A and B are shown apart, each in its own frame.
Chain A
Amino acid sequence: MSSKATIYSFLFLGLAVTALLIVAPVVYAVSLSFYQMDSFVGAPKWAGLDNYTRMLSQWVFWRALINGFIYSFGTIIFQVVLGIGFALVLNQVFPGRNIVRGLSILPYLLPTVVVVLTFKWMVDGSIGVLTTMMSALGLPQVQWFESPGAAMASVILVSVWMWTPFVTTTFLAALQTVPSSLYEAAKVDGTNAVQRFFHITLPMLKPILTVIVLLRAVWMFNKFDVIWLLTQGGPVGATEHLAILSYKQAFGQFDIGGGAAVATISFAILSLVVFIYFRLFPLDTE
Chain B
Amino acid sequence: MAEVRLNKVRKAYGAQVAVHGVDLHIRDGEFVVFLGPSGCGKSTTLRMIAGLEEITTGTIEIGGRDVTRLEPKDRNIAMVFQNYALYPHKTIYENLAFGLRMRRMDKAEIDRRVKSASAMLGLDPYLERKPKQLSGGQMQRVALGRALVRDPDVFLLDEPLSNLDAKLRVRMREEIARLHQEVGTSMVYVTHDQVEAMTLANRILIMRDGHVQQVGAPLEVYDRPANLFVAGFIGSPEMNLIEGHLERGALKAGGLSIELPPGIAAAEGTPLVLGVRPEHIGVGEAPGAHAFHVAVIEQLGAQTLCIGEVAGVRLRVLMDRTDAVRNGTTLPIQFRPGRLHVFSKETGARINRADADVGRRPAA
Chain A neighbourhood of B18, CB < 8 A: none
Number of residue pairs A-B, CB distance < 8 angstroms: 59
Interface centre among A184, A185, A200, A206 (most CB of B within 10 A): A185
Q: Which of the residues B50, B83, B88 comes within 8 Å of A188, measured between beta carbons? A: B50
Q: Which of the residues A179, A189, A203 comes within 8 Å of B83, measured between beta carbons? A: A179
Given A179-B83, A181-B81, A184-B81, the answer on whether A190 and B103 have CB atoms closer than 8 Å is yes
Chain B neighbourhood of A208, CB < 8 A: none
Q: CA separation between A206 and B51, bound complex, in Å?
A: 29
Tell me whether B77 is interfacial, beta carbon within 8 Å: yes
Does B102 lie within 8 Å of A195, measured CB to CB?
yes
Does A204 lie within 8 Å of B88, measured CB to CB?
yes
**Chain A residues within 8 Å of B, Cβ to Cβ:** 179, 181-182, 184-191, 195, 199-200, 203-204, 206, 286
Interface centre among A179, A188, A206 (most CB of B within 10 A): A188
* Closest Cβ–Cβ distance, residue B88 to chain A (whole Å): 7
* Closest Cβ–Cβ distance, residue B178 to chain A (whole Å): 23
Given A182-B87, A199-B87, A206-B89, the answer on whether A189 and B81 have CB atoms closer than 8 Å is no
Chain B neighbourhood of A184, CB < 8 A: 50, 52, 72, 79, 81, 85
Given A187-B52, A190-B99, A199-B98, the answer on whether A182 and B85 have CB atoms closer than 8 Å is yes
Tell me whether B73 is interfacial, beta carbon within 8 Å: yes
Known: A182-B85, A185-B79, A185-B146. 18 other contacts (CB 8 A): A179-B83, A179-B85, A181-B82, A181-B83, A184-B79, A185-B87, A187-B51, A187-B52, A188-B79, A189-B99, A189-B102, A190-B73, A190-B102, A200-B87, A203-B89, A204-B88, A204-B89, A206-B89
Q: Mark B68-84, 1 if CB is under 8 A from A, else 0.
A: 00011100011101110
* Closest Cβ–Cβ distance, residue A187 to chain B (whole Å): 5
Chain A: CB-nearest residue to B47: A184
Chain A neighbourhood of B83, CB < 8 A: 179, 181
Chain A neighbourhood of B102, CB < 8 A: 189-191, 195
Chain B neighbourhood of A200, CB < 8 A: 87
* Closest Cβ–Cβ distance, residue B160 to chain A (whole Å): 12
Interface centre among A190, A199, A206, A286 (most CB of B within 10 A): A190
Chain B neighbourhood of A206, CB < 8 A: 89
Which residues 128-177 of B sit at the A interface, judged by CB distance below 8 A?
A: 146, 150
* Closest Cβ–Cβ distance, residue A176 to chain B (whole Å): 16
* Closest Cβ–Cβ distance, residue A127 to chain B (whole Å): 50
Task: Provide 12 A-B residue pairs closer than 8 Å at the C-beta atoms, listed in order of the A residue.
Answer: A181-B82, A182-B87, A184-B52, A184-B79, A188-B72, A188-B78, A189-B73, A189-B102, A189-B150, A191-B102, A200-B87, A286-B88
Chain B neighbourhood of A204, CB < 8 A: 88-89
Does A185 lie within 8 Å of B88, measured CB to CB?
no
Chain A: CB-nearest residue to B143: A185
Q: DSSP majority for the A interface?
A: helix
Does B73 lie within 8 Å of A187, measured CB to CB?
yes
Chain A: CB-nearest residue to B103: A190
Interface centre among A184, A189, A206, A286 (most CB of B within 10 A): A189
Q: CA separation between A126 and B73, bound complex, in Å?
A: 57
* Closest Cβ–Cβ distance, residue A185 to chain B (whole Å): 4
In which size bucket is the chain B interface? 20 to 34
* Closest Cβ–Cβ distance, residue B198 to chain A (whole Å): 27
Q: CA separation between A188 and B79, bound complex, in Å?
A: 7
* Closest Cβ–Cβ distance, residue B163 to chain A (whole Å): 12
Q: CA separation between A286 and B130, bound complex, in Å?
A: 9
Given A190-B99, A199-B98, the answer on whether A185 and B85 have CB atoms closer than 8 Å is yes
Q: CA separation between A185 and B95, bound complex, in Å?
A: 11
Chain A: CB-nearest residue to B84: A181
Given A179-B83, A181-B81, A181-B83, the answer on whether A187 and B88 have CB atoms closer than 8 Å is no
Q: CA separation between A204 and B146, bound complex, in Å?
A: 20
Does B81 lie within 8 Å of A185, measured CB to CB?
yes
Q: CA separation between A66 and B27, bound complex, in Å?
A: 70
Q: CA separation between A188 and B74, bound complex, in Å?
A: 8
Q: CA separation between A186 and B150, bound complex, in Å?
A: 13
Q: Which of the residues B73, B79, B146, B150 comes within 8 Å of A191, measured between beta carbons? A: B73
* Closest Cβ–Cβ distance, residue B115 to chain A (whole Å): 19
Chain B: CB-nearest residue to A182: B85
Chain A neighbourhood of B78, CB < 8 A: 188
Chain B: CB-nearest residue to A203: B89
* Closest Cβ–Cβ distance, residue A204 to chain B (whole Å): 7
Which residues 299-348 of B sit at the A interface, judged by CB distance below 8 A?
A: none
Q: CA separation between A179 and B86, bound complex, in Å?
A: 10
Chain A neighbourhood of B71, CB < 8 A: 187
Q: CA separation between A184 and B75, bound complex, in Å?
A: 14
Chain A neighbourhood of B103, CB < 8 A: 190
Chain A neighbourhood of B50, CB < 8 A: 184, 188
Chain B: CB-nearest residue to A191: B102
Chain A neighbourhood of B88, CB < 8 A: 203-204, 286
Does B85 lie within 8 Å of A181, measured CB to CB?
yes
* Closest Cβ–Cβ distance, residue B189 to chain A (whole Å): 16
Given A179-B83, A195-B102, A199-B98, the answer on whether A188 and B89 have CB atoms closer than 8 Å is no
Q: CA separation between A185 and B158, bound complex, in Å?
A: 12
* Closest Cβ–Cβ distance, residue B101 to chain A (whole Å): 9
* Closest Cβ–Cβ distance, residue A180 to chain B (whole Å): 9
Interface centre among B52, B71, B83 (most CB of A within 10 A): B52
